[in-house]
Amino acid sequence: MPRRVLILATNGFEQSELEEPRDRLEQAGHTTIVASPESDEIRGWSGGDWGDPVDVGMPLDQAEAKDFDALLLPGGQMNPDMLRMEPKAIQLVRNFLEQDKPVAAICHAPWLLAEAGVIEGRNLTGWPSIRTDLSNAGANVHDEEVVVDGCIITSRNPDDIPAFSDALIGALEEHLDVPEPA
């Protein structure tokens, strides 16, 4: 059964960290929807300059964890830094985890997990410059291409996208036999 994955992003997301996992999810038969505080489209960051636009499928204020099976948080420095200032984005991260749904964060995106206060005692990874932030928020930080701790999936950088995507797809497949809520 196809699953619905919410991608939470705003301007300045790392182009490859949104598009490549999204494409892998869709190739695996899952549906993806981008939610953002911006309307119409957002622009990525690629190779030190602005990248390509991505269509926004849903305003952030309409996104609800109950309507999706997983949350994908692409990185880039600007994107998660701006999103962690959005109370709705932080609440959305909490809601997915409260509902035991996978939350996959790559690069700088684990900042959102720290801001949500959900990483104390958890095993995570992330971009090298945020590892101290993650540790200060109580996480056990590792330097591995993908770290899975319960429903939280984290990776370090674009080189890790294949393992990151596989871990998220695997988490969705594990839930295939779980009945949908009535």
- The set of catalytic residues is 107-108
**C-beta of residue 72 within 8 angstroms of C-beta of residue 8:** yes
Q: 3-state class of 170 per DSSP? A: helix
**C-beta of residue 169 within 8 angstroms of C-beta of residue 28:** yes
What Rg do the C-alpha atoms of the chain give, in angstroms? 15
Amino acid identity for residue 109 in this structure: A
- Angle separating helix axes 161-174 and 15-27, nearest 10 degrees: 40
Cα–Cα distances in angstroms (integers) from residue 148 to residues 35, 47, 59, 125, 155, in the given order: 24, 28, 29, 9, 9
